[in-house]
Amino acid sequence: MSVDFTPWPEDLVRRYREKGYWRGEPLTVLLTKRLEIAPDATAIICGERRFSYAELDAWSTSLAIGFSRQGLRAGDTALVQLPNVAEFYAVFFALLKIGVVPVNALFSHNRLELSAYAEQIRPALLIACARHPLFANGAYVEALQIAIPALRVVQILGETSYAESLAPFAERRYDVSASELRGSAPGEVAFLQLSGGSTGAPKLIPRTHDDYYYSLRRSAEICGLTEKSRYLCALPAPHNFPLSSPGALGVFHMGGTVVLAPDPSPSVCFDLIRRHGVDIAAVAPPIAMLWLEAAADEAPLSSLRLLQVGGARLGETVARRIPATLGCRLQQVFGMAEGLVNYTRLDDDEETIFTTQGRPMCEDDEVKIVDPQGAPVGSGEIGELLTRGPYTFRGYHRAAEENARAFDAEGFYRSGDLVRMTETGHIQVVGRKKDQINRGGEKFAAEELENLLLTHAQIADAALVATPDALMGEKSCACVVARGDVRPLALRKHLRALGVAEFKLPDRFEFLERLPVTAAGKIDKRALRDLVASRPAH
């Protein structure tokens, strides 16, 4: 049994194999190889805890055996929600070892997001953390088990009165029988990645071993990782960026060390960088800005070699300040959990690094930039970026309707990003077509929030638009048509009660008589954005 996904066409499969992108190896090989080379090298530093590759492997094996003895099998799915702790990777590899396909939810996700993922994948296993308010008591787990009868095993990191605890690392070796640990085949789905979303329901991206392994190998190469690399994971660990670009998996692949940061604040991260000699870190633009501010009156971060910035637009002025203030190189990264990742290269000239979001990492990444009719734009002109390639997915998990919209006839994924290609073949992201809010790198579909606002009895109509913000890049503004007297406070309270993640709560509310519509009768978001911009924020 395996989790179904939309396959690549045969001719491309052949090409990707012939070219060595797809090696027919499951992601678990990444660990196995390190065990042969340097088992005692440090894989993870998490607070005061350190785990060698041998320990990470043994831990994930013991977890895998535990799951397997509880009846979990290849093709089952798991819903996992953990903060930035070593357990995240131990569980990830454990599930890979038995072919159980996880969705790794963000720790900032709440009841609504977890339930929506659970509805889609019907998990047999739930792993969560007692530190999350949802799991402080057993009420949510009980409700989930009623809604999802397939959910058989629940393990919580930390002590609770209602569930089994996730097994901590212990110096135990297991006698592993080969049949007990059988992962999925390299061409099959390893895990489901989270999509930023542009329509109501959150969507899931099947990532196969073959495609993901290539993506992280090539990323590690481009970023110059070695076994000496010390990578700071300051973004939420499940994000595609800190997982694979090159992220923790790229670091593991090279035998380096992942230093986990509980949050991206400069106070926490600078200390970790200095203590552990971190040489590479990945952040989103608002964090880079906070780091710049803090670095101005601090001793230099002498070990830091490379700061990767991506996930949202990095302004040129800020970009220029990074090497000067932090004393490291900058790398811009424009990627997407759906696949395509663009990097500025370490040896690119300054202009390219400061003013572009890089270029695709693979020569077989096919990129089209098209006008609204789907025709290629002229050179240097702005259009929507469409792409296909050896690590770009072919369809969201069980979303036929969405997939019909999200791909063109040639199987190119419509990214929804408006870009321009420079003469040198570098990409500049200039805007977005998709109806999404990108709040400092955290994305969500405007429609998701609009639907939630409409559940309030006093709301007749609602539209969410992005507003520019100096630090976050974008914040969100809910434009609502109210039936009676209703305050932002009450609306926020209503949204919180629905269990939506905090980062999706509108930063601002505007109350309007009615929402402007386009000639086609759709809500005119451009007009709304202008209108919001013309009113003073209050």
Cα(242)–Cα(104) distance, integer angstroms: 13
Smallest distance, ligand J2J to C-beta of residue 99, A: 24
Q: Tell me 125's DSSP state.
A: E
What residues contact residue 495 under an 8 Å CB cut-off, 6+ apart? 449, 452, 453, 504, 505, 506
Tell me if 357 contacts ligand J2J by CB under 6 A.
yes
Residue among 337, 445, 446, 500 that touches ligand J2J (CB under 6 A)? 337
Q: Which tokens is 47 given?
A: 């607070």
Nearest CB to ligand J2J, comparing residues 197 and 256: 197
Report how far residue 506's alpha carbon sits from residue 491's, in angstroms, rounded to the nearest whole number: 9
Distance CA 97, CA 59 (A): 12
Among residues 57, 417, 474, 510, which is the contact residue for ligand J2J, using CB under 6 A? 417
Identify which range of 1-9, 78-86, 145-153, 307-315 contacts ligand J2J by CB under 6 A: 307-315
Least separation in angstroms between residue 497's CB and ligand J2J is 27
Binding of ligand J2J by 310 (CB under 6 A) = yes
Residue 412 phi/psi, 5° resolution?
-80, 135
Alpha helices in 331-423 (DSSP H): 350-355, 400-406
Q: Which stretch binds ligand J2J (CB under 6 A): 113-121, 127-135, 304-312, 500-508?
A: 304-312
- Give the Cα separation of 217 and 210 in Å (integer): 11
Stretch that binds ligand J2J, among 42-50, 121-129, 306-314, 364-372 (CB under 6 A): 306-314
- Over the window 138 to 177, marking each residue x when it contacts ligand J2J by CB under 6 A and - when it does not, the resulting string is ----------------------------------------
What part of residues 117-136 is at the interface with ligand J2J (CB under 6 A)? none
We find the least distance from the C-beta atom of residue 465 to ligand J2J, in angstroms, to be: 16
Toward ligand J2J, which CB reaches closer, 255 or 335? 335
Given 118, 333, 477, 482, the residue binding ligand J2J (CB under 6 A):
333
* Piece in contact with ligand J2J (CB under 6 A), picked from 175-183, 310-318, 505-513, 520-528: 310-318
* Cis, bond preceding 102 (omega within 30 deg of 0): no
| Beta-carbon count within 10 A of 31 CB | 22
Question: Could you give the CA distance from residue 214 to residue 255 in angstroms, rounded to a whole number?
Answer: 16
Of 269-277, 308-316, 370-378, 486-494, which segment contacts ligand J2J by CB under 6 A?
308-316
Candidate list 305, 432, 439, 475; residue touching ligand J2J; CB under 6 A: 432
Cβ 444 to ligand J2J shortest distance, Å: 10
What phi and psi values does residue 219 have, to the nearest 5 degrees? -65, -45
**Chain residues 438-497 in contact with ligand J2J, contact rule CB under 6 A:** 438, 443
Site residues for ligand J2J, 221-260, by CB under 6 A, read 240-241, 244-245
152, β-bridge pairs: none
Residue 16 is encoded by which pair of tokens? 């990707």
Query: What dihedral angle (degrees, nearest 10) is formed by the CA atoms of 21, 23, 28, 31?
Result: -80
Residue from 77, 81, 325, 415 touching ligand J2J (CB under 6 A): that is: 415
Cα 129–451–462 angle (5° rounding)?
Answer: 130
> At its nearest, how many Å lie between ligand J2J and the CB of residue 451?
21
Closest CA to 186 of 217, 213, 204, 159: 213
Contact residue for ligand J2J among 328, 336, 361, 480 (CB under 6 A): 336
Rounded to 5 degrees, φ, ψ at 295 are: -70, -25
Number of residues this chain uses to bind ligand J2J (CB under 6 A): 23
Question: Please, what is the minimum distance in Å from the beta carbon of residue 435 to ligand J2J?
Answer: 12
Q: Is 308 helix (H, G, I), strand (E, B) or coil?
A: strand
Token representation of residue 332: 């811009």
Map tokens 């809500």 to a residue.
523
Q: Binding residues for ligand J2J, per CB under 6 A?
A: 196, 240-241, 244-245, 310-313, 332-337, 341, 357, 415, 417, 429, 432, 438, 443
